Structure formats: C-alpha cells, structure tokens
Copies of this chain bind each other. A is one copy, B any other.
Amino acid sequence: MGQTKTELLSTEVRHLDITQFDFVTLIESMQGTAFQARNLARAAQIYHQMLADKQCGVILCLAGSLISAGLKKIILDMIENNMVDVIVSTGANIVDQDFFEGLGFKHYQGSPRLEDTELQALAIDRIYDTLINEDELRICDDTIKVIADSLEPRPYSSREFIAEMGRYLEKHAKNKDSIVLRAYQKNIPIFVPAFSDCSAGFGLVMHQVAHPQKHVSIDSVKDFRELTELKIKAKETGLLMIGGGVPKNFAQDIVVAAELLGAEVPLHKYAVQITVADERDGALSGSTLREACSWGKVSVVHEQMVFCEATIAMPLVVGYAYGKGAWRTRENRAYSKLFAETAETVS
C-alpha cells in the first residue's frame, strides 16, 4: 500500500438522503417485474402499509454495519418523520458508529483489498470497504466509561443507558445528526440486546473494573421485559428488519413473551426483512418469515423477505414509504415516556 494514515483516511463516507429522489414510480414499476425487484417492491409497500395503519407500532431492527456505510440519514429521516416507534439494533450501529459520529468522528471510504496487517500497524480498523481511525474509537469507549461513571450504580436496560448517551450528546455532540440524540429527544426507545458486544462493552468493562463493588450493570432481561411491555401496549405491530441476528430474534420473540405474561397480543401483523442470508443453513438470520409463523411470532399475510444487500435495498424501501407520505398523518408515539416513571431501585 505505502499510503499514510492521513491519505487512507481522506475520503469520508457520505450519508444518503432519500428525500431527494422519487422512489414511488420506480417501486411501482418494479412491482410489475419479477425476482427480487418485485420482492423489494412488495416489501416497500408493506412498510408503507405499516405506516398507513394507524393501529400499528413500527419496530425497526438493525444488524450489520449500516451507519458506517452511509445509511444514517435514512434512519434519521424515519425518526424525524414519525416513521419508526422502536429501534432494536446491534451495538456497533448505535455505539461504535452513530454515537461515534455524534462525538464528531467520521467514517472513511477504503477498499476490501487493503492489506490488513499494514492497517493494523497504522491503527486503522476496516469494515469491508470502509475505514475507522482506531484512536477515535478508543475515545468513544472512554466516553461510555465517563457516562457510566456518572450514573447511579444499578442494573440498567440498554434502553436506559442509550437514553443517557442521548442526554450526553444533547450537551456534548459535535455532530447533531445522531440517531441516539434524536431518538432521545423524541422519546423513541432504542434497544441493544447484546449491549456489551461493541464499544459500549469496552467502556463498561473499564467502568466496572474501576468500580468493583458498586457499578452500573446492563440487565438484558430488563431489555426483553421492556420491549415486551411495548408490544402489550402497542398491540398491532410491524417489523422492518435490516439484516438478521439478535435484533430479528429479539423483536420476534416479544409476541411469545407477551403471551407468557398472560397478555393476549396479536402476531406481528407486518414483517419485512432485507438480508442476503440463506435459509439453507438453518440459522435464524436467513430463516423465512413463514418459519417465524410456526413459532407464533409473525403473521404470513403481510410478510416479505428481500434478498439484497442493505445499502441498495434500504434506500429504495424507505424512500418509497417516505414518498407515499403516510407518515404525514402519523404521530410520534414517544414510547420512552412509558418507562419514565418506572426506574427501579432494584435488586
């Protein structure tokens, strides 16, 4: 390679703005074709239906590296325009990437053909064709520790901790285009069920080691409990899933959890998943939404898988729903307020 760190980190990833294009005609044309274009069109229409159905709460699931890949503004536009009520995500998207950018850092365009041993020597981290300054990631870890140090020692749900991250950004953000910040301000809850599995884990481990007796812990059961409560409250729900993994499983499971708590709740009425995972390995990420019906989680009436990588498919799906405009008459459910009064003093 022979490039310096500054040279390698010179071209920023730019976030795509779906409000600039007319996706409606394109998607409606794709509806007339076949294969994945038709599947994508149907998925876009189901997402539009979720928004048009005033009874339906919309849960957005995020897996994969979406923020570093330039999809942040799409999610911000969903938040601004009441197109999402709950977010369930992997930690990387929320902490390492969105919160990280909120602190003023950037992602850079690279190539999958760079030499990783050289990158390691330069303290540059690679995600396929994007690059991160590892020194900045360490600042992100440290900031998580600072936040944890400032909190009352007790078990938190990831949702509670992420709200504290939003509160922190409200004061300290160098870049206000942040999902964590805007979701905090609009009371949209964000859950990260495997919260230690990212930069937050690094910060929180440092926090706990520094405070061995009394410290913040992250109770993943509380996450599940809270999300189940939201299902019970929302009744009708729809899932817009980008990728699979823990967020998909977690969000699907709340139907069963609600039943176990004695609540009569409907299956997820709408479900869309964008993924390139394959059904044939028997893993959850690629499992069909029909399979999820056998588990009593998802209805088969309005479900659609789209076999397409997310950076291509997500702009089209969300862009269509944005263009159709059902969100104009949709209100912010501000679900985080439900939990405002219930901070526990446990255990």
From 17 to 32 in chain A, residues with beta carbon under 8 angstroms from any chain B beta carbon are: 17, 20-22, 25-26, 29-30, 32
Q: Check A284 against B65 for contact (C-beta < 8 Å).
A: yes
Q: Which of B130, B219, B250, B290 contacts A116 (CB 8 A)?
A: B290
Distance of A193 from chain B, by nearest CB (Å): 5
From 202 to 229 in chain A, residues with beta carbon under 8 angstroms from any chain B beta carbon are: 202, 204-209, 212-225, 228
* A49 interface residue per 8 A CB criterion: no
In addition to A155-B219, A218-B220, 14 A-B residue pairs with Cβ atoms within 8 Å of each other are: A30-B315, A34-B65, A34-B130, A127-B291, A128-B279, A155-B217, A194-B246, A201-B224, A205-B228, A207-B221, A215-B346, A218-B219, A246-B246, A276-B281
Q: Check A36 against B281 for contact (C-beta < 8 Å).
A: yes
Q: Check B253 against A201 for contact (C-beta < 8 Å).
A: yes
* A245 interface residue per 8 A CB criterion: yes
User: Of all chain B residues, which has the CB nearest A153?
Assistant: B347
* A150 interface residue per 8 A CB criterion: no
Bound: A312/B26 CA distance, A: 10
Q: Which of B30, B63, B130, B207 contacts A16 (CB 8 A)?
A: B30
* A78 interface residue per 8 A CB criterion: no
Bound: A211/B19 CA distance, A: 48
Q: Which residues of A contact B (CB under 8 A)?
A: 12-17, 20-22, 25-26, 29-30, 32-38, 40, 63-65, 68-71, 92, 107, 109, 112, 114, 116-117, 119-120, 124-130, 134, 138, 141, 153-155, 193-198, 201-202, 204-209, 212-225, 228, 243, 245-246, 249-250, 253, 256-257, 260-261, 276-285, 287, 290-291, 293-296, 300, 307-313, 315-316, 344-347
12 intermolecular pairs with C-beta atoms under 8 Å apart: A20-B29, A33-B71, A34-B130, A35-B129, A35-B280, A36-B309, A38-B311, A64-B281, A138-B260, A155-B219, A218-B220, A276-B278
